[in-house]
Amino acid sequence: MLRFAFSITLISSALAATPALMPLPVTVRLGTGKLILDKTFRAALVSAPDTRLKASVGRFVERLSRQTGIPMLGLGNAAPKLRVECAGAGSEYPVLGEDESYTLDVTSEGAVLKAPTRAGALHGLGTFGQLVTLGPGGFEVPAVHIEDKPRFPWRGLMMDSARHFMPLEVVKRNLDAMAAVKLNVFHWHLADDQGFRVESTRFPKLHQEGSDGLFYTQDEIRSVVAYARDRGIRVVPEFDIPGHTTAWLVGYPELGTNPGPYEIGRKWGVYENALDPSREETYAFLDTFFEEMTALFPDRYFHIGGDEVEAKQWNASARVQTFAKQNNLKDAHAIQAYFNQRVQKLLQKRGKIVIGWDEVLHPDLPRDIVVQSWQGQKSLAEAAAKGYRGILSWGYYLDHLRPAAFHYGVDPMAADADSLGQEQRSRILGGEMCMWAEYVTAETVDSRIWPRAAAIAERLWSPAASRDLESMYARMEAVSRVLEWTGVQHRANYAPMLERLTGGRPSEPLRVLADAVEGLGLGPRARAGKYTSLTPMNRLADAARPESESVRALELAAAKVAANPKGSLADAAALRREFSRWAANDARFQELAAENPLLAELKPLSRDLAALGNAGLKLLDALEKGQAPAAAFVAEQTRGITRMEKPAAEVNLAATRPVKVLLKGGKK
Ligand code: ACM
C-alpha cells in the first residue's frame, strides 16, 4: 500500500502534463525520460495467432493516430515502438475470473506490454492510451513501470433497455466507453412492464405485441455480444421474472396470474402483474424460451431478475393459493422461491448459472446462484456468509444522479464484510452500476452514466486505498473528455438540448443557468408525478448534468479564498468573473424566456442565480477588505440559500454551494 500511495504522489507532482489514469493501476513507478510518439510509431503483436486481438491493436493505433494527428504505421514487426506480448488468447468469450493482469514498461526507446490473456492485453492498451499527453515536444508517454490487475473480477454496468428503448448505437458506444475504464460486464435489462426488447422466433408475440416495435433482432443481439467480446466484456442478459412482466403478458396473457387482457405499461413504478407460478404451462413456456435465449447469450450467467414481486395477485388467486397449500408454501416469498427453483433447473440444464436481485435469496436455492444486492449493503455480506456469491449494486444507482464522490465512497467490502472470513469475502465478486431508464432516453442516457461510471469503475478495479477525492475528480474530469472520443455523447448532447429549449435562439443565457444547476434523479422526478413513458425528456432537468464541474471548481476556489483572501488572487478573480456573469444573466434570460413555455418554469431559478451572484460579489468585497460581512446580511443570505437549496423545476441550484462556502468563511 505504501508503495502505491508513493507512486501516486509521484504522478501528480513530477509531470508537467499529468496523465489521467482511471482506474488507477495497482503500481505505477515513473522512470526518467519519455517515449515520443511520432510517425515511426508502430505496434507489434507477439502472441499466439489471434485475429481479434490483432483487430483490437489495430483499432488502438488508429485511435492514437486520430488523437495525435500523426499518420501511424499500424501493426508491423519491424522496430515496433509498442510491443504487445500476449501469452495466450484465453477463452473465446470473456469469462468470470480470468486473469486480467498486465504489466507495461515504457522507456524512451519503446514500450512493452505483457499480459497472460487477451483481456489483460486490452486493459494494458487502455492504460497506454491514457498515458499519452501533450508535452513540449509533441505527444508523449512518460517512462514508467506499471503492474496492474483488478481488485474484483465482476465490474459491470447494467443498462435498462426496457423503460426507454436504447438503440443499438447507444449500446455499442457505451461498450466502448466501458472498455476504456476496464469494466467487464454488460448487464442488459431486456424486458420489463414497459417493453419486451428481444426478437423471439419461438414466441413472436413477445416482441411483436410487447415492444411498440422497438426491439433488438437476434442478429443485432449477436452483433452486440460479439462487439462486447472484442472489447473484453461479458454480456449478461436479464429477463426479469415473475414480476416486472406486463410486456410479456400483452401477447401471452395465459402466462399471467390474472386473465388479462394486458397492455404495455406506460406508467413508472411497480406493477402488480406476475407470472402464474401454479401452472405447468408457465414452466413449459419458460423452458422453450430459455432454450432460445440461452443460445443467443454465451455467458455462463443468466439473470432472472426476481425483484419487487407484488404478492397481491398471488394472494387473491384461488388457483395459486390452492397450489401453495398443496406444496406447503406459506407465503409469497416461499412461492417465489419455488418458482425460482424451477427456473434455476431449467437454466442449469442448459449450463447456466442463475443470478438474481437480492429478493431471490432463500435457503431452498442452490449455493451456486449469484445475488445482486440492490436494497442495501448488508444483504451482500449476508449472502456471502450463507455461501452465495454476490455483487453490489446498492450505492451504484446512476439513475439517482448522486455525485461521483458518493458512489466512489461505496465499497463492496464495506464494514458488513468485516466479520466474514477469507473464503466468504472471496464470494463478493464485485459490483454493478445500474442505469435504470425511466428518466433517460437515448439522447440523455450517456450523460447519466458518464463520467460518474468511471469513478465506480475505479472503485471496482483499483486498490481499496485509492480514496483521494481531489485526485479522483481531477482524473475523472480529464477522462470524461477523452471518453467522448470513444463515442459516448455525454457532453455532446448538452448544447443542442439547450438550443432546442430556446427554440433555436442563441442559448447563452440558458447555458449560464444550466452550468449552475444539477439534474435530479429518480426520487424527485417520480415525486413530481407527471411522467409516463410517453413524456418527452426535453427539459433543463434532462439537459443539466448530474454534477456541475464548473460549480465544483468554484467551490474549491471559494474555500481557498475564504481561507486566505490575500493569497488566492487568481481564485478570487475567477469567482468574481462567474458571480458577475450570474448577476448579469437574469435580464438576458428573462428576455429569452418571455414567450417560451419551455423556459417558463426556470424564471425564478434565474432570479435566484442572479441573487447568488450579487451576494457572492459582496462577500468577495468584504473578504478583500479584511472585513467580516454584516450579521444581518449573513442571516438574510443564509435564509435565502436555505430556500434555494430546495429543488425547483427538478433541478438543484448548485450555485448555492460556493456562495455558502464564502458565507461560512470556508467552514463546512
Ligand atoms: C431494482 O432496482 N428493482 C432491482
| Percentage of the residues of the chain whose pLDDT score is greater than 90 | 87
Q: Is 308 a residue of the active site?
A: yes
DSSP codes joined into one string, 399-462:
GG---HHHHHT--SS-GGGTTS-HHHHHTEEEEEEEE--TT--TTTHHHHHTTHHHHHHHHHHS
pLDDT tens digits for range 198-236: 999 999 999 999 999 999 999 999 999 999 999 999 999
Fold of domain 27-148: Chitobiase; domain 2 (3.30.379)
Q: Which atom of ligand 1 is nearest to the CA of 436?
A: 2
111-115 vs 133-135, strand pairing mode = unpaired
Q: What average pLDDT score do residues 397-421 get?
A: 93
For the chain, the maximum distance between any two Cα atoms, rounded to a whole number of angstroms, is 83
Annotated catalytic residue, options 85, 292, 308, 484: 308
Domain range annotation of the chain: 27-148, 191-215+233-366, 494-663
Adjacent-strand bridge partners of 301: 353
Q: How far is ligand 1, taken at its centre, from the CA of residue 307, in Å?
A: 6
Rounded distance from Cα 306 to ligand 1 centre (Å): 9
Q: For residue 374, report the distance from its CA to the centre of ligand 1, in Å.
A: 6
Whether the pLDDT of residue 392 is over 70: the answer is yes
Q: Is the CB of 357 inside a 6 Å radius of any atom of ligand 1?
A: yes
Q: Ligand 1 centre and the CA of 122: distance in Å?
A: 32
Give the rounded percent of residues in the chain with a pLDDT score beyond 70: 97
Distance, in Å, from the CA atom of 309 to the CA atom of 336, rounded to the nearest integer, reads: 8
DSSP 170-228: HHHHHHHHHHHTT--EEEEEEEETTEE-B--SSSTHHHHHHSTT--B-HHHHHHHHHHH
Residue nearest to atom 2 of ligand 1 (CA): 374
* Ligand 1 contact via 308 beta carbon (within 6 Å): yes
Work out the average pLDDT over 625-649.
95
140 lines ligand 1 (CB under 6 A): no
Contact 105, 111 (CB under 8 A): yes
pLDDT tops 80 at residue 15: no
Asked whether the predicted pLDDT for residue 342 surpasses 80, the reply is yes
Among the listed residues 460, 409, 635, 451, the one whose alpha carbon sits nearest the alpha carbon of residue 552:
451
> Among candidates 194, 290, 289, which has minimal Cα distance to 246?
194
List phi, psi (to 5°) of 106: -120, 130
Q: What's the gap in Å between 393 CA and the centre of ligand 1?
A: 9
Say if residue 397's pLDDT is above 80: yes
pLDDT for residue 159:
98
Indicate if the pLDDT at residue 47 is higher than 90.
Answer: no
Atom 3 of ligand 1 has which residue's CA nearest to it? 307
Sign of the CA dihedral 154, 462, 181, 114? negative
Mutate to test the pocket of ligand 1, among 270, 357, 392, 400 (most ligand atoms within 8 A of CB): 357
Q: Which of 614, 183, 160 is nearest to 432 (CA)?
A: 183
Within 8 A by CB and 6+ apart from 160, the residues are 166, 189, 192, 434, 435, 436, 437
Q: How far is the CA of 441 from the centre of ligand 1 (A)?
A: 19
Asked if the model's pLDDT at residue 6 lies above 50, the reply is: no
Residue 376 Cβ contacting ligand 1 at under 6 Å: no
Q: What is the pLDDT of residue 73?
A: 72
Confidence of residue 437 (pLDDT cuts 50, 70, 90): very high
| pLDDT over 90 at 305, yes or no | yes
pLDDT band at 569 (very low <50, low <70, confident <90, very high): very high
Please state which CATH class domain 191-215+233-366 belongs to.
Answer: alpha beta
Torsions phi, psi for 486 (to 5 deg): -75, -10
Residue 396 Cβ contacting ligand 1 at under 6 Å: no
- Which grid cell is 248? 410479456
Please check the confidence at residue 4 and state whether its pLDDT lies above 70: no
pTM given for the model = 0.96
Does residue 307 have its Cβ closer than 6 Å to ligand 1? yes
